[in-house]
Structure 1
Amino acid sequence: MRLTRCQAALGAAIALNLLGLLYMSWLRHQPRGTRARNPRPGAAASNGANGAGAGPYRVTILVREFEAFDHAVPELVDSFLQLDPGLPVVVAADTLPYPPLPLPRVPNVRLALLQPALDRPAAASRPETYVATEFVALVPDGARAGVPGQLERMVEALRAGGARLVAAPVASANPARCLALNVSVREWTARYSSRASSASASANCDALDGDAVVVLRARDLFDLPAPLARPVGSGLFLQTAPRGWTVRLLLDAPFPAARQPPLATAHARWKAEREGRARRAALLRTLGIRLVLHDGDGGRPEWFGCGKDSPRCFGTVAGDTPAYLYEGRWTPPCCLRALRETARHVVGVLEAAGVRYWLEGGSLLGAARHGDIIPWDYDVDLGIYLEDVGSCEQLRGAEAGSVVDERGFVWEKAVEGDFFRVQYSETNHLHVDLWPFYPRNGVMTKDTWLDHRQDTEFPEHFLQPLVPLAFAGFVAQAPNNYRRFLELKFGPGVIENPEYPNPALLSLAQSG
């Protein structure tokens, strides 16, 4: 079949259109910083001034910290686009903001929804999908673009070395200030303290408090376990500080703040503060922080776990080795606090009732070694005289069934054998175990034995008399000559040579 001239012309036109569509599709999928190889006159100067676009310094503006119900994000985005219309901008939210977010309808401004959805591919919920530049500038709501060259200066400071992040304060009511931050993963604790300001134009910090624009390499940001977790400031530095990354704060290069900042009404501020507290608590629990300390501020400790109305931070213990030890962590500090509170309460009840008791097992070892609970222990053990049980109302009640006392502690008979257990609350099962011993031919024995190396009989003379010993913030009763008592139970040198409760499963040396 021969083609006519008309058919050939039509085929050529279709082919040209297809080639044009393919070329436009290819352009749309190129990294934004590499598209404008031959920019229009004046565009190169604009890109170089802001450290983005076709110049050597390529930055994506990333807006994550804003409240959907009251914000100034469109104005923030417009302020940066006025300096450089081609600047890549990503606004990230968990779900589609409501009311709808009126962003400029240009290819270099994108909305990233981070919560997975059935109707979107997996890559759509990963923030790194939207960033094709070497650097990222995290910009909080209420900030505005600074002077030309400001981002370029921050990138130059970052490339100069000495810090993995570079920040500039926002000239808001709460500008960023420098903090020292020590994060102990093993102890589930973050400790903040103010870092003295200097007369220089910059300072190196572990963390910042307040409003700031932060620039870092995109690969560094997205290598963090929770790169865009909110609140962004707290989450970012809690993840960078343990890695030894510092942030250089450029004090003489602040970004301007919006003339009409967001959250201008009392109701909006109240709502933002309430939701911010909930997000911060969820973030700290996710990152494994249970205690936040503020030194030199007169700040009170902040606890994030193990309340009376919440379950304890770990599950059932197998082989005397809690799950957190396998993670390279010790007992969460909130759990230790609850154990101390429970132990103090139980000892007070026993002493008031005239019940003879003493620190037993690992609790006595902790008192001898630390004056406290062993940092990786998960309960408290007390021995009591079986014949004194009837003197205590709570123990008598526990023999008949579970008893909740006036302070919410639960007294009950243990299901594992013939001993008593006092739980922190009905919800939180951190506990003190009470082991009833009785003398037989001068030796203290009991009716229930568990497979613990320290669970053994001992001469009664260790209890005649009992002696006071500091423990967990109060003074408890302990066997006399408790060193010999402990070495009888655990072996020689036990006080000086700490070890996990079941070294056959996991030893202290193995945990690093």
Structure 2
Amino acid sequence: MVRLKYAKLLTILVFIVNVILFLYTWKWFVSESNNYSTTVQTKLLKIKDRAHSTNKHIKKLITIVFRDFYHFENDLQHSIDSILNQIPNIQIMVLYEDEPYPPLNFVKNYTATHSNVKFINLNFDIRKTSKALSPLSQIRTKYVLFTPDSFRFGGRAIIQKILAEIEKKSNRKNVANSRNTDIDASSSDQNINIDSLAKNDNSKSIIIIPFVSNVASMSNCCRINIDIANWTMEYISIKNSIHQCDMFLQKHAILADTSLLKIMPDALASPFPEMFYIQAKICKAKLHFLKTGLLQDGKRLFTAFHNKQRRKEIRKQQFKNMYKKIQIKKVVRKYRGKINDRHNKQHEKKATRDIFGNAMPAIVLSNVSIPILINTEYFGCEKNTRSCIGTVFRKPFYVYLKRNTPPCCLEKLKSVFYHVLEELTNVGIRYWLDNVALKSAIETSELARDAFEIDISFISYDLDRSTLLKKAQTRPVIDNLGFYWIKATEGQYFRVQYSKQNQVGVNLLPFSMIGERVRANGFFGWKAKEFSAEFLHPMSTVIFLNKNVMTVNNVCDFLSLKNIT
């Protein structure tokens, strides 16, 4: 019995010990699990706080602007959503010129639920204040990120890389400027302009963020040359040359300092971003490229032929309006490369587009010399419009603006000259190049930069040899090529114009030989000065506009006689 009691007691003790060990073990596991969950929650809160802090920092620095989109086909809603999903309260502006019709359904949803998303019409509205008509006055952040339509926002890391890049460029400029001598404080405020701001301001860095879908084998960059005096702009396509790049050609986003936008005449003007790049060139801003953190494309747009053509026509009209606004009459595009038809067919869908949206020839490098393909287009006067020169009182208006003759008018003046020269030569009329045109022929063999007309004198006895001149004596005549032959109402001289509407032309001045003197026949003024017939015996020739043209002998004495120096 005693052994049985001891055995029971031992069993009870073992059970109690096991229960105690179980309780302590269970309590330890519970405390550890609580500590682990607390640690996890703490880490999650830290991540959320860090993300919130990053978002807050980005919102203070950047405003995102959508400037280039088309209401008849776009991916704007999904592009905005991709941003709001990552940075909910960031400021977003959608700028447009014409009110979308039919209206975009998602606009009301955004304006009702997101106060940070604004849709702004850039067209003039007399009911709006000047601040409402100027989106730049509503931007409070240091930087503006211009994003194209149809893209997907990958995350905050891309924005952080962009900000780090532009801050790095600004710091480099500050160090460089600190080493230079201080600007003379005696400069007056009246002389401050864009050029001086471009030299002294440190915020002239523009960051280009390319898209992943860009074709590496195509031209990325374009150099812009602007010749205001000659009404000319030149685009030179270059391949991946960062230091010479004035405009990026393929799909990309742009980060710029808000202060840079505010010193531009119209930073948000269409076509965007081409007009922006032209103003940046004048402001001497520098482009820098973000090599990492490329942007992702959204939905593919303009796959239908109808919408593609509609977009192309809109772009063409935008460029015409832009050149008219900045007073550019001649546009030259230079593509350096060799056209390979098979290569072009394979890359037709991915080919680089020029600024009008037309496919550019692919650049194929080879061991042979690479030709330069030049395309010239004029945006000034035409056959059915008035000339850009207008009415002339002693001097053309552009001389007082320190500019030369518009290139469109020069080309039309050359066309009229070639046509008149062919007519006079074919019918056998004795003529000679005269006055200012003769002086230009002797000096440069070309037209003077401020030329607005060409004078050709002829012997009046030969007038009946030309049917056109005979008809023009009684009434104006339009020949088979559309040139307008007319007799002046004041005086007996003739004028051949480019067309009835476009008055650019050549003057035909009749002279009569009376004995040893040559006198003007029926017209007056300094051009009608009498001179000796010895200047016409014998006749001489001069090269003018790549043509052998008849002229007087002893040209220098002849011009001196007419006081043309």
Aligned counterpart for 2:248 among listed residues 208, 212, 235: 208
Q: Distance in 1 between matches of 2:389 and 2:152?
A: 45
Shift in Å, 1:459: 2.1
Matched, 1:382 2:456: yes
One-letter code of the match for 1:266? F
Structure 2 SS opposite 1:150 = helix
Matched, 1:229 2:269: yes
Q: Distance in 1 between matches of 2:286 and 2:546?
A: 36
Shift in Å, 1:471: 1.7
Matched, 1:164 2:205: yes
Q: Distance in 2 between matches of 1:146 and 1:457?
A: 81
Structure 1 SS opposite 2:124 = coil
Shift in Å, 1:460: 2.2
- Tell whether the 8 Å contact from 2:207 to 2:290 is kept in structure 1 after alignment: yes
Output one character per residue of 1:410-446: Cα deviation in whole Å (capped at 9) or x when no partner. Answer: 0001233221111101221111111111123423221
Shift in Å, 1:245: 2.7
Structure 1 SS opposite 2:156 = coil
Aligned counterpart for 2:548 among listed residues 475, 482, 490: 475
Q: Distance in 2 between matches of 1:285 and 1:174?
A: 33
Task: Give the alignment's TM-score, normalised by structure 2.
Answer: 0.73
Matched, 1:311 2:386: yes
Q: Distance in 1 between matches of 2:51 and 2:335?
A: 52
Aligned counterpart for 1:177 among listed residues 203, 206, 220: 220
Alignment match, 1:43: 52
Aligned counterpart for 1:73 among listed residues 68, 73, 76: 76
Q: Distance in 2 between matches of 1:421 and 1:478?
A: 19
Matched, 1:124 2:132: yes
Aligned counterpart for 1:461 among listed residues 531, 534, 553: 534
Gaps of 5+ in 1: 1-38, 495-512
Q: Distance in 1 between matches of 2:528 and 2:258?
A: 55
Structure 1 SS opposite 2:332 = strand
- Tell whether the 8 Å contact from 1:65 to 1:140 is kept in structure 2 after alignment: yes
Output one character per residue of 1:127-151: Cα deviation in whole Å (capped at 9) or x when no partner. Answer: 3233222222222222332442433
Shift in Å, 1:41: 6.8
**Alignment CA distance shift 1:444-1:142 (3 Å):** farther
Q: Distance in 1 between matches of 2:162 and 2:517?
A: 74
**Alignment CA distance shift 1:80-1:390 (3 Å):** same
Q: Distance in 2 between matches of 1:447 and 1:252?
A: 77
Shift in Å, 1:203: 4.8
- Tell whether the 8 Å contact from 2:227 to 2:233 is kept in structure 1 after alignment: yes
- Tell whether the 8 Å contact from 2:232 to 2:331 is kept in structure 1 after alignment: yes
- Tell whether the 8 Å contact from 2:223 to 2:244 is kept in structure 1 after alignment: no
Alignment match, 1:94: 97
Matched, 1:283 2:322: yes
RMSD (CA atoms) = 2.4
Shift in Å, 1:186: 0.7
Task: Give the alignment's TM-score, normalised by structure 1.
Answer: 0.80
Alignment match, 1:402: 476
Alignment match, 1:53: 59
One-letter code of the match for 2:505? H
Aligned counterpart for 1:84 among listed residues 87, 105, 114: 87
Note the 1:407-446 alignment, pairs <5 A.
407-446=481-520
Matched, 1:193 2:236: yes
Structure 2 SS opposite 1:490 = coil
Shift in Å, 1:73: 1.5
Q: Distance in 1 between matches of 2:259 and 2:318?
A: 25
One-letter code of the match for 2:124? P
Alignment match, 2:440: 366
Between structure 1 and structure 2, the one with the greater Rg is: 2
Shift in Å, 1:406: 0.1
Structure 1 SS opposite 2:223 = strand
Query: Which protein is richer in helix relative to its size?
Result: 2
User: Which moves more between the two structures, 264-273 or 289-298?
Assistant: 289-298
One-letter code of the match for 2:310? K
- Tell whether the 8 Å contact from 2:161 to 2:293 is kept in structure 1 after alignment: no
Shift in Å, 1:395: 0.8
Gaps of 5+ in 2: 1-47, 174-203, 337-372
Structure 2 SS opposite 1:365 = helix
Matched, 1:137 2:148: no
- Tell whether the 8 Å contact from 2:220 to 2:239 is kept in structure 1 after alignment: no
Aligned length: 442
Alignment match, 1:348: 422
